């Protein structure tokens, strides 16, 4: 007889459950963009979803309590001139969110505690550097106000949002950057690129410390740092089979595990919970969520189960652990977008009979307190994340101050060397003139201003011409009316006959119109 040894794990029986429709969010016009993004970001206060919007890009921000059917005219966050491609909540301030767009601009927004009551178009700050669309925004895990952005110009930029300045510019990618991930303390950066390679980068210097082929397929890849320092990747094989792998730094070319899943063509997003070491794989266009446990013993990546849904997903967001319900042993919560406009809430629960706090399921988790300032991080300080206990539930830290941007003069004068002269002069001129984005201002080139002045001058001339003609016609009509009353031109039927010779407008007795220089622009 052979006996099968069952692996001991407290997460072996984790099960997923979808909440009822009236506990979800309905009637949401999810973005139809083909960009490989999750389209959704969530924290313990708000749910943000990228939506379709006419005349630019927008996303909707909903308080978590606002479940049910969302009004079609619900206010949006809509200051972008092109479709929004990615959004991310700040881990240290639940009211601050960053968005990247096809208009090449990154905007950082402050959301009021009660949500937005009217469409929000003025961000706290515009971050202008990229020359092509920005498809990736990612906050630093421990340093306050440090934001990473990456665009189709193959550039990675690290910002200090508090001053609006570029801290580090990383130019080591020959093609589009697909994904980026910080390690546990934010001292290293991991990226994947369209050239099929993954790179370990020193984020302060931009130096590539190690690189290797991620997956041999040409479709988009993703890679994340695990808390242990290992690296988990998803991608495609040479024959377009979906794969995941586990690797160790300094041995990126030799995967510890490489497993082929299926032949679907949707990009897989790995969502990671550092407290439980569970990785959830959510494919774009899939109707399943697979979850795995990462351990130190072979086969290292242990398949647990699959949550099945009846319809495919367009995007998905994962709640931070501090937003989960510890009283029901909920260890993860997902907000899943589908094509019918429904944002479905899915909870992952460990079955336990006891109603007491389960310390083994909830070790101390990431708090909303930063471990360092942006200046300290740039100066070389690597701070461990500050952890909190969830015993008794999560209570937000003391009242957060609004994000304030102290914009320094000419902070964006270091623009990309290739093809960036126009953007550089625009950003520098805007900063020098005090037209920072925080007050809704913007730089307008001189040639456009001249064009506006010329158009106004032409309109004034046309108005003067038409005004002269109208006055001449009024004088002519008055003269004809006087003749009619005198009976000189009337016939028996009361008809009025016009004089045989035409009236010369230039000799009309109307007063002269004011010269065009004296007219104000608001009279146009």
> How many whole angstroms separate alpha carbon 125 and alpha carbon 90?
14
Question: In this predicted model, which residue has the larger pLDDT, 504 or 36?
Answer: 36
- Would you say 289 and 281 are in contact if contact means Cβ atoms under 8 Å apart? yes
| 418 pLDDT more than 50 | no
pLDDT digit string, tens, across residues 341-385: 999 999 999 999 888 899 999 999 999 999 999 999 999 999 999
| 444 pLDDT more than 70 | no
Grade residue 518 by pLDDT with cuts at 50, 70 and 90. very low
Question: In this predicted model, which residue has the larger pLDDT, 163 or 523?
Answer: 163
pLDDT at residue number 6: 67
Lowest mean pLDDT among 159-173, 196-210, 509-523: 509-523
Grade residue 8 by pLDDT with cuts at 50, 70 and 90. confident
pLDDT at residue number 401: 65
Grade residue 1 by pLDDT with cuts at 50, 70 and 90. very low
> How many whole angstroms separate alpha carbon 187 and alpha carbon 183?
7
> How many whole angstroms separate alpha carbon 473 and alpha carbon 320?
74
pLDDT digit string, tens, across residues 45-84: 999 999 998 878 999 999 999 999 999 999 999 989 999 9
| 431 pLDDT more than 60 | no
Residue 379, helix vs strand vs coil: coil
pLDDT at residue number 398: 62
| 241 pLDDT more than 70 | yes
- Which of 443-452's residues contact partners 24+ apart within 8 Å by CB, and which partners? none
For the chain, what are the domain ranges? 446-523
The length of the chain, given as a count of residues: 524
| 489 pLDDT more than 70 | no
pLDDT at residue number 262: 92
pLDDT at residue number 53: 87
> How many whole angstroms separate alpha carbon 250 and alpha carbon 200?
9
Question: In this predicted model, which residue has the larger pLDDT, 411 or 279?
Answer: 279
Q: Which residues of 412-431 are buried (b: 16+ CB within 10 A; e: fewer)?
A: beebbeeebeebbebbbebb
| 500 pLDDT more than 60 | no
Grade residue 387 by pLDDT with cuts at 50, 70 and 90. very high
pLDDT at residue number 400: 65
> How many whole angstroms separate alpha carbon 283 and alpha carbon 312?
9
> How many whole angstroms separate alpha carbon 314 and alpha carbon 216?
25
pLDDT digit string, tens, across residues 97-151: 999 999 999 999 999 999 999 999 999 999 999 999 999 999 999 999 999 999 9
Residues β-bridged to residue 308: 288
What average pLDDT does the chain have?
A: 85
pLDDT at residue number 56: 83
Grade residue 507 by pLDDT with cuts at 50, 70 and 90. very low
Q: What is the DSSP string of 87-107?
A: EEE-TT-TTEEEEEETTSEEE
81 CB contacts (<8 Å, ≥6 apart)?
56, 57, 101, 103, 105
pLDDT at residue number 474: 85
Question: In this predicted model, which residue has the larger pLDDT, 262 or 459?
Answer: 262
pLDDT digit string, tens, across residues 335-345: 999 999 999 99
- Would you say 269 and 284 are in contact if contact means Cβ atoms under 8 Å apart? yes
- Would you say 208 and 189 are in contact if contact means Cβ atoms under 8 Å apart? no
């Amino acid at each position: 007889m052979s006996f099968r040894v069952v692996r001991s794990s407290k997460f072996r029986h984790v099960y997923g459950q979808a909440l009822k429709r009236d506990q979800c969010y309905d009637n949401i016009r999810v973005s139809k963009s083909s960009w490989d993004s999750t389209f959704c970001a969530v924290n313990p206060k708000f749910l943000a979803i990228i939506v379709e919007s006419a005349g630019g890009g927008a996303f909707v921000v909903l308080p978590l309590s606002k479940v049910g059917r969302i009004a079609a005219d619900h206010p949006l966050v809509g200051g972008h001139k092109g479709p929004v491609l990615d959004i991310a909540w700040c881990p240290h301030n639940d009211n601050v969110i960053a968005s990247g767009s096809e208009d090449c601009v990154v905007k950082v927004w402050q959301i009021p505690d009660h949500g937005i009551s009217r469409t929000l178009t003025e961000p706290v700050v515009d971050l202008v550097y990229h020359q092509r669309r920005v498809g990736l925004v990612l906050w630093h895990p421990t340093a306050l106000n440090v934001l990473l952005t990456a665009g189709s110009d193959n550039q990675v930029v690290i910002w200090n949002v508090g001053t609006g300045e570029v801290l580090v510019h990383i130019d080591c990618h020959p093609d589009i950057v697909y994904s980026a991930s910080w390690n546990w303390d934010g001292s290293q950066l991991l990226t994947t690129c369209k050239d099929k390679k993954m790179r370990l980068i020193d984020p302060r210097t931009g130096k590539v410390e190690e690189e290797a082929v991620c997956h041999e397929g040409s479709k988009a890849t993703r890679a994340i740092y695990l808390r242990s320092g290992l690296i988990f990747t998803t991608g495609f094989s040479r024959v377009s089979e979906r794969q995941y792998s586990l690797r160790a730094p300094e041995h990126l070319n030799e995967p510890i595990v490489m497993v082929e899943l299926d032949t679907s063509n949707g990009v897989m997003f790995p969502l990671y919970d550092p407290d439980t070491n569970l990785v959830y794989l959510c494919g774009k266009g899939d109707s399943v969520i697979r979850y795995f446990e990462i351990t130190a013993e072979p086969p290292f990546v242990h398949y647990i189960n699959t949550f099945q849904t009846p319809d495919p997903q367009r995007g998905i967001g994962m709640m931070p652990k501090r937003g989960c319900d510890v009283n029901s042993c909920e260890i993860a919560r997902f907000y899943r977008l589908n094509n019918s406009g429904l944002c479905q809430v899915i909870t992952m629960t460990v079955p336990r009979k006891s109603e007491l706090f389960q310390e083994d399921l909830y070790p101390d988790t990431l708090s909303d307190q930063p471990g360092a300032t942006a200046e300290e991080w740039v100066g070389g300080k690597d701070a461990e994340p500050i952890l909190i206990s969830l015993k008794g539930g999560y209570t937000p830290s003391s009242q957060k101050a609004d994000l304030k941007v102290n914009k320094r003069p000419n902070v964006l004068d270091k623009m990309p060397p290739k093809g960036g002269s126009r953007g550089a002069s625009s950003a520098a001129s805007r900063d020098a003139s005090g037209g920072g984005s925080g007050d809704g201002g913007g730089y307008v080139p001189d040639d456009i201003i001249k064009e506006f002045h010329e158009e106004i001058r032409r309109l004034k001339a046309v108005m003067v011409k038409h005004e002269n003609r109208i006055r001449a016609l009024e004088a002519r009509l008055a003269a004809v009316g006087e003749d009619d009353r005198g009976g000189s031109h009337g016939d028996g039927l009361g008809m009025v006959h016009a004089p045989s010779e035409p009236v010369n407008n230039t000799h009309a007795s109307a007063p002269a119109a004011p010269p065009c220089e004296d007219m104000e622009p608001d009279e146009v």
